[in-house]
């Protein structure tokens, strides 16, 4: 981790940055700097500067088409900025070998594809790809790490089951196990709760919280503002391709901010379970 | 419901793969895959023995052995060394090239129909061969084969250019391939109408696919294409396997998806071009071989399995073609077409019953 020649600029530009003592001054392992992001000639974001604070559970929220998934794709090097850059460990992410990046940063995309008939253990083992080679196909270390990843996500008992037999929640835990087997300090999750029912959403978010507490830096795109406020330690709110607010949920989730981001008149009360902000739309 | 778990290596090993380790190096093998490959090899050995001993001049095992050791009559040695063995070697190499090409295309497109036949490479080879036969009347076999290879690679290039820089999903590749295929079929029909009767009959024979009168030079050419393509496939195999999880997941795992896709497209096109140029379009081999291999090994991928099954299909089909119906020998492509067509229909029936197609 190199010294942050960047942080002064990005902190100054980031509006409403919460005081968040834990992140103050800590070098960010991953950030976008003055990035123009888009597809073809359509720009979604211009001059976007966002940093992922180390050790936090960052959740990106915002209305549909606000550019949150686009930002995540750029941070995961799936989308190359048309201008500006994304920096991982002090270097442009696109200048680094993609396999080396895969040992630092794990990604769970929105709709991964499980090959027909693959077993849970085999799928999780795919996460070892960046640590393997044509003559290093399955080391004792690979076996140990895959076992640990399955245990951490509570899928060990499913090891020999076919992935296509599992429930949506189990399947998502298996995919997370695969990304964990990559052994990366940074995890990026693109809408990990989409298509799941409420129980399984909570299950996946609890797992994310557990992974965060075990020392990983997480970034997730979520749709549900209340879930984001409950689980995130750092929120990034986007609208029209720009960051509107960022900081700790308790600091930035205010009625005015929610109205500004989502056009939703609302009241904020305290979540009786977790004391985090709870957004109640006005009747 | 979650259940309490203990770290259970036994449950984990249920993945059935075992590792063979030597110091820092390790390879992963499955018992089922090894057993299936061994069974395919046995069948292949049977097909080889059948090919070299039957035909219009049957050879008993002792005469065959004598011919192989240079202790037979000149006629027997000529038949074995100058006719049957080169033809056999060509059949093995062509089958392996087509099987491997199909396996790469199916992995790349994530589509069970992804094969050089469907994607237009075979039609491209036909166009190339027809151009040589029709416009260079009396062109040598070598010129026709070279022109066919150029045609196949040209079709591959067109497909690449049309899919480059766009949504790179497998469906798009298959749909564009079908379009290219249809256009080239029209071109081929036109070329046939332009030809005189002698060239036309030669063209039709080429278009059926056949392995008669192959010599060692042709066998060596296909074999070298197979070696180069095989090495490239071995290097690309891990990345392609990761890409079966989707482009985004593969990128996350550290696969350079763009360059892997281009390299795989080139490798599969060269393999198809090499095979088809020498044999003509042997229908269904590239399509069916990977499916049969996947079914036998019970794993979605087996490039080695697809190569061996391809070699087996072409060798067995060629032996059946030589045996012929009654007294008459058939072109090899007729046999692969009939067998492959039946297999494909069977696969579709199974597909409808089980609702899956690997």
Contact A134 B358 (CB under 8 A): no
> A44-58, pLDDT tens digit by residue?
999 999 999 999 999
Domains for chain B: give ranges and CATH numbers.
31-354 (1.10.3470.10)
169-208 in chain A: CB under 8 A from chain B: 179, 182, 188
Distance in angstroms (rounded) separating the CA atoms of residues B294 and B32: 11
Distance in angstroms (rounded) separating the CA atoms of residues B175 and B56: 44
State residue B172 phi and psi, 5-degree precision: -60, -45
Which pairing describes strands A266-270 and A242-247: parallel, antiparallel, or unpaired?
unpaired
Q: Does A106 touch chain B (CB under 8 A)?
A: yes
Considering only CB atoms, A134 lies closest to which of B7, B235, B246, namely: B235
What is the ipTM for the molecules in this complex?
0.86
Contact A160 B15 (CB under 8 A): yes
Q: Tell me, rounded to whole angstroms, the distance of Cα A109 from its chain centroid.
A: 10
Distance in angstroms (rounded) separating the CA atoms of residues A55 and B335: 64
Which pairing describes strands A277-281 and A105-108: parallel, antiparallel, or unpaired?
unpaired
Contact A102 B3 (CB under 8 A): no
A144, closest residue in chain B (CA to CA): B9
Q: Tell me, rounded to whole angstroms, the distance of Cα A282 from its chain centroid.
A: 30
- At B167 the three-state DSSP class reads coil
The CA-atom distances, in angstroms, between A161 and each of A129, A155, A167, B300 are: 21, 10, 12, 16
Domains for chain A: give ranges and CATH numbers.
7-104+184-281 (3.40.50.300)
Nearest CA of chain B to the CA of A19: how many Å?
32
Q: What pLDDT does residue A1 have? A: 39
Q: How many residues does chain B have?
A: 358
Q: What pLDDT does residue B32 have? A: 85
Cβ partners under 8 Å of residue A64, min gap 6: none
CA atoms within 13 Å, Cβ hemisphere of A20: 26
Q: What pLDDT does residue B326 have? A: 65
Tens digit of pLDDT at every position of chain B (358 positions): 344 333 334 333 434 577 888 887 888 888 888 999 999 999 999 999 998 888 778 888 888 888 888 888 998 889 999 999 999 999 999 999 999 999 999 998 888 888 998 899 999 999 999 999 999 888 888 999 999 999 999 999 998 888 876 655 677 888 888 999 999 999 999 999 988 899 999 999 899 888 888 899 999 999 999 999 999 999 999 999 999 999 899 999 999 998 999 999 999 999 999 999 999 998 889 998 998 898 888 776 789 999 999 999 999 999 888 887 666 778 888 888 888 778 767 866 776 655 444 4
Cβ partners under 8 Å of residue B289, min gap 6: B95, B98, B99, B102, B103, B306, B307, B309, B310, B313
Considering only CB atoms, A159 lies closest to which of B12, B246, B256, namely: B12
CB atoms within 10 A of CB B341: 13
Please check whether residue A244 is in contact with residue A238, taking contact to mean a CB–CB distance below 8 angstroms.
yes
Nearest CA of chain B to the CA of A61: how many Å?
21
The CA-atom distances, in angstroms, between A33 and each of A11, A36, A74, A82, A207 are: 11, 9, 11, 12, 30
Q: What pLDDT does residue B54 have? A: 82
Q: Against a cut of 0.90, is the pTM above it?
A: no
- At B347 the three-state DSSP class reads helix
Compare B30 and A185 and report the one with higher pLDDT.
A185
Q: What pLDDT does residue A25 have? A: 53
Is the pLDDT confidence value at A23 over 50? no
Q: What pLDDT does residue B169 have? A: 62
B247, closest residue in chain A (CA to CA): A112
- At A74 the three-state DSSP class reads helix
Q: What pLDDT does residue B23 have? A: 80
Q: What is the DSSP letter of A114?
A: P
């Amino acid at each position: 981790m190199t010294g942050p020649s960047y942080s002064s600029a990005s902190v100054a530009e980031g509006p409403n940055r919460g005081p968040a003592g834990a992140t103050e001054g800590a070098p960010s392992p991953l950030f976008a700097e003055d990035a123009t992001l888009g597809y073809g000639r359509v720009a979604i974001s211009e001059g976007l500067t966002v940093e992922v604070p180390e050790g936090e559970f960052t959740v990106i929220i915002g209305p549909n088409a606000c550019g949150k998934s686009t930002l995540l794709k750029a941070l995961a090097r799936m989308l190359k900025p048309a201008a500006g850059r994304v920096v991982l460990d002090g270097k442009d992410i696109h200048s680094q070998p993609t396999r080396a990046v895969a040992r630092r940063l794990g990604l769970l995309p929105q709709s991964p594809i499980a090959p027909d008939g693959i077993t849970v253990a085999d799928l999780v083992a795919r996460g070892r790809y960046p640590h393997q080679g044509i003559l290093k196909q399955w080391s004792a270390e690979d076996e140990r790490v895959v076992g640990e990843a399955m245990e951490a996500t509570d899928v060990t008992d499913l090891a020999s089951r076919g992935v296509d037999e599992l429930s949506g929640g189990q399947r998502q835990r298996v995919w997370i196990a695969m990304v964990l087997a990559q052994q990366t300090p940074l995890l990026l999750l693109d809408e990990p709760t989409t298509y799941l029912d409420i129980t399984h959403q909570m299950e996946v978010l609890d797992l994310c919280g557990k992974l965060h507490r075990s020392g990983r830096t997480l970034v997730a795109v979520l749709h549900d503002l209340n879930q984001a406020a409950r689980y995130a330690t750092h929120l990034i709110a986007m609208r029209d391709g720009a960051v509107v607010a960022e900081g700790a949920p308790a600091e930035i989730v205010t009625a005015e901010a929610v109205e500004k981001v989502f056009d939703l008149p609302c009241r904020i009360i305290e979540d009786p379970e977790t004391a985090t902000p709870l957004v109640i739309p006005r009747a | 419901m979650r259940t309490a778990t203990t770290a259970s290596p036994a449950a984990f090993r249920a993945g059935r793969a075992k590792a063979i380790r030597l110091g820092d190096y390790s390879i992963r093998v499955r018992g089922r895959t090894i057993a299936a490959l061994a069974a395919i090899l046995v069948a292949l050995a049977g097909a080889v023995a059948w090919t070299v001993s039957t035909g219009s001049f049957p050879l008993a095992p002792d005469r065959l052995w004598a011919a192989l050791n240079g202790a037979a009559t000149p006629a027997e040695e000529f038949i074995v060394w100058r006719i049957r063995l080169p033809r056999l070697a060509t059949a093995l190499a062509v089958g392996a090239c087509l099987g491997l090409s199909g396996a790469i295309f199916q992995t790349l497109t994530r589509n069970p129909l992804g094969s050089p036949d469907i994607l237009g490479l075979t039609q491209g080879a036909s166009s190339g061969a027809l151009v040589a036969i029709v416009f260079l009347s009396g062109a040598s076999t070598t010129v026709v084969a070279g022109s066919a290879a150029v045609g196949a690679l040209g079709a591959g290039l067109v497909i690449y250019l049309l899919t480059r820089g766009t949504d790179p999903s497998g469906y798009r590749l298959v749909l564009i391939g079908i379009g290219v295929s249809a256009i080239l079929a029209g071109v081929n029909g036109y070329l046939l109408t332009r030809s005189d009767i002698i060239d036309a009959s030669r063209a039709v024979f080429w278009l059926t696919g056949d392995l008669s009168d192959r010599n060692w030079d042709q066998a060596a050419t296909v074999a070298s294409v197979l070696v180069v393509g095989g090495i490239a496939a071995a290097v690309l195999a891990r990345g392609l396997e990761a890409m079966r999880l989707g482009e985004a997941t593969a990128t996350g795992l550290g696969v350079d998806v763009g360059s892997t896709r281009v390299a795989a497209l080139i490798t599969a096109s060269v393999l198809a071009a090499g095979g088809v140029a020498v044999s003509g379009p042997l229908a269904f081999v590239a399509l069916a071989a990977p499916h049969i291999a996947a079914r036998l090994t019970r794993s979605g991928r087996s490039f080695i399995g697809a190569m061996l099954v391809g070699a087996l299909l072409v060798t067995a089909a060629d032996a059946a073609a030589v045996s012929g119906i009654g007294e008459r020998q058939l072109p090899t492509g007729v046999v692969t077409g009939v067998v492959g067509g039946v297999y494909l229909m069977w696969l579709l029936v199974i597909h409808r019953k089980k609702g899956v197609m690997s």
